Structure 1
């Protein structure tokens, strides 16, 4: 019912005006009943000897009706206030229930989103771990290749130095042989 009133704000404003009008009418009836009771109570208190039994009965009848109207209008006003308070509490309870339901749905959605993110994060973590493993394997391969290349380089360097020494020795022998040939 509250949601219907929220959707139809014009009807809600008219209903609020009608409630205030009823409250004003109940208040007017109560004040009129109080005035009547005082008026007829004063006539009974006067108790003049000129009153006849019929006149006395008429005064008591009017006093009874005024008191009845006072009690009925007072009770109606009291019930109105109790019902208004009860409706306010029910309305607030319904709003809180709707808010709690909305918060619960929002929390469930956030929980699902967090689980999805955590699930995708764990998949990403696993994928990154696989990449790290691959890179470490590739790194080990590259390191071993680099060491073998360095060993090959060192071997070639030593071989080149050996060849250089041999070349120098052969050149020296050749130069000695040429010198010897000139002397012979």
Structure 2
């Protein structure tokens, strides 16, 4: 195996190991974020995108070269098999084909796992940020809940205090209403007494007027009788004169 493919194989094994470590369940994303925040990683983060693109380009070039080698030795393998050449040459071609296929798998899986590794690190970072924000939101919610409970308790105490004051005010207003009603009753009694006195006075005056009218009627009857008597006397006197 040449140096370049040895490096690709080592890179592939390293990718597999790193991905397995990143997938360990007992290491939380928050801990990975703390690890990624080390000064060493902070310095490497500046060159991370450039290094990622460079490795992508190298792996793509190696993958295309491996594809070319596989196609070349596959066609040669078919031709040599058809020509029935000696076994040593045929074995050599098979060895070349095997190595080219191995290199194809190494470069292909290295390229694929490199993309998976980049995506895994990105998702772990995002998940750690979401977990941190979720923890902060939970803390805020708990604080808000405690504050709301405290305000509700204070509100209940204020309502109880206001209800006590309201009862005393209601009692005072009831007493004032009773006093007003008593005053109104007294005033109505006084007016009723005045009306009763006026009625009795009017009744007395009516009785006096009735008595006066009776006396006037009797006086009128008496005068009428006297007038009739005088009229009769006058008529008799005139009759005597005529005779």
Unmatched 5+ stretches in structure 2: 1-31, 195-243
Q: Which residue, 15, 26, 39 being the options, matches 2:48?
A: 15
The alpha carbon displacement at 1:125 in A equals 0.8
Q: Which of 6, 23, 44 lines up with 2:77 in the alignment?
A: 44
1:29 maps to 2:62: yes
Q: Distance in 1 between matches of 2:56 and 2:182?
A: 102
Aligned length: 161
Could you say what secondary structure the match of 2:64 adopts?
helix
For 1:97-136, what aligned pairs fall within 5 Å after superposition?
97-136=131-170
How many angstroms apart in 1 are the aligned matches of 2:64 and 2:74? 15
User: With structure 2 as the length reference, what TM-score do the two structures score?
Assistant: 0.49
- Tell me the distance in 1 between the aligned counterparts of 2:49 and 2:150: 48
2:104 is matched with which residue?
70
Distance verdict in 2 for CA 1:155–1:9, change over 3 Å: farther
> Which string of whole-angstrom CA distances, capped at 9 and with x for unpartnered residues, describes residues 114-173 of structure 1?
212211211121121012112112223333444566677789999xx8xxxxxxxxxxxx
- Point out where structure 1 has 5 or more consecutive residues left out of the alignment: 162-184
Which 4+ stretches in 1 moved above 6 angstroms? Answer: 48-52, 151-158
Cα drift, residue 91 of structure 1: 3.9
Kindly name which structure, 1 or 2, has the bigger radius of gyration based on alpha carbons.
2
In structure 2, the residue matched to 1:143 is 177
